[in-house]
Amino acid sequence: MPAPNNSRMSSRWQKLVLALTSAATVVGCQTTSDSLGRNEPTSVGTRHLLPVKGPSSYPSGFRDTGIASDQQIASKIESAFNQLFHGDPGSQAIFFPVGTDEANIQDINHSNEVRTEGMGLAMLIAVELGKQNEFNQLWRYARAEMMESAGPKSGYFKSYCDTSYNDTTPPVRCWDTFGLQLFVMALIFAHDRWPEVSAVSDAGAINYESDAFMLFDTMRLKEQENGGVIEDVTNTFDDPTHLVYNDPTSGHTNFTRPSAEMPAFYELWAQATGDSYWSTAATNARTYWKNAANPTTGMLPVRAYFSGASYPGWDVFAPEGFRAQLNMVLDQIWNGREPWEVSEADQLIGFFSRYTNQQFPKIYKLDGTVVDPETGDTALIVLNGMSALIATNGNRTSFINAVWNLPVPNGQYRYYGGLLDIIALMVLGGQFKVY
């Protein structure tokens, strides 16, 4: 790829810094209650993240079931990282350097689109594995190339969202709240793991702490910053319910996605900020899952109203929605506060135990009826394997073993399956931790 034009980058970053400074000034003029509920000015420079604390130990499905040793687990994770981040760019890699300071994650199956989903998941992978250089490259790209730097959407990130659950129509531009939340969590972990400010480059210095607060303010105070709902732009979260919007625009303010609710993250955000808003968000997200899940199969719709009722046209259990299983597993291993998540995992594992060869159809009605019989998608294999980590179902080991035996995806479909595969290796290897 061509090297970046440094004069262009400098100009771009001057505009970006000016935009962020203006946003901080708007928010910082308050002196009664800031976005964290504190009686102090909200200028980014006056606030500090508090350390976050996780559990004293993490379950390792691979080790605890005798599938692999810790050394074998570490080697397999490193191999998967090297393939997806530094493998053959034509058939293996999803991580692509841009110039000398930036990099992105490309959805190979969708014309090499760059989505916040992939960028955020990759940043979490990088910080969990201590890969600071790759983390910084990804975040620089996200800030410079994906973040809106002016107008009502300033602070939100351009992405792509599917327009149908069966992927028959091209994705459209959106400001995906799923990826935005991944950025926040990744930055908090980065601040705790690498507290020093990153080295300065032509792309600008990175300060994980101030960038995290910038995103907190965008999520909670966007309408206040804009002086209302301007050009349909809203906050990221619905204040009455504390549930995240499907998209921060006025046409999406009465529904969300079960896979975008992240109570495991919210509990840590409450620790990091001292803001009880996020504890309430965690509690409400868990309740929302209960209301949305099918009582027989445990399957969750791709999108649903705040009541839990399925949103028309999205009342299926499909690949985008599978991610809710990851969020439940993280909530259980990091927080362990919700017994229903264990029961939910047991229901799902119980249902999918009928497929003894781990060849799962791709899409289902919520009652388990198959909608798309196509098999070969690895996403459900790795997400069921993660659900098996917290399940008590007697067949759970076979689901965990299936993840261990799964090769890291390559070729056309390596983006989604590859990201989920390496995360599953880390979760099932006891290596997806709170930092």
Task: Identify the pLDDT of residue 204.
Answer: 64
Task: Identify the pLDDT of residue 1.
Answer: 43
Q: What is the mean pLDDT of residues 298-326?
A: 97
Whether 77 shows a pLDDT value over 90: the answer reads: yes
Query: Quick one: which of 259, 258, 234, 263 has its CA closest to 247?
Result: 234
pTM tops 0.85: yes
pLDDT tens for 4-49 read 443 333 334 343 444 443 344 333 333 333 433 333 334 445 799 9
Sequence spans of domains, the chain: 60-428
Task: Identify the pLDDT of residue 197.
Answer: 60
pLDDT tens for 141-162 read 999 999 999 999 999 999 999 8
Top-level class of domain 60-428: mainly alpha
pLDDT tens for 225-252 read 999 999 999 999 999 999 999 999 999 9
Mean pLDDT, all residues of the chain: 89
Task: Identify the pLDDT of residue 111.
Answer: 93
Task: Identify the pLDDT of residue 169.
Answer: 82
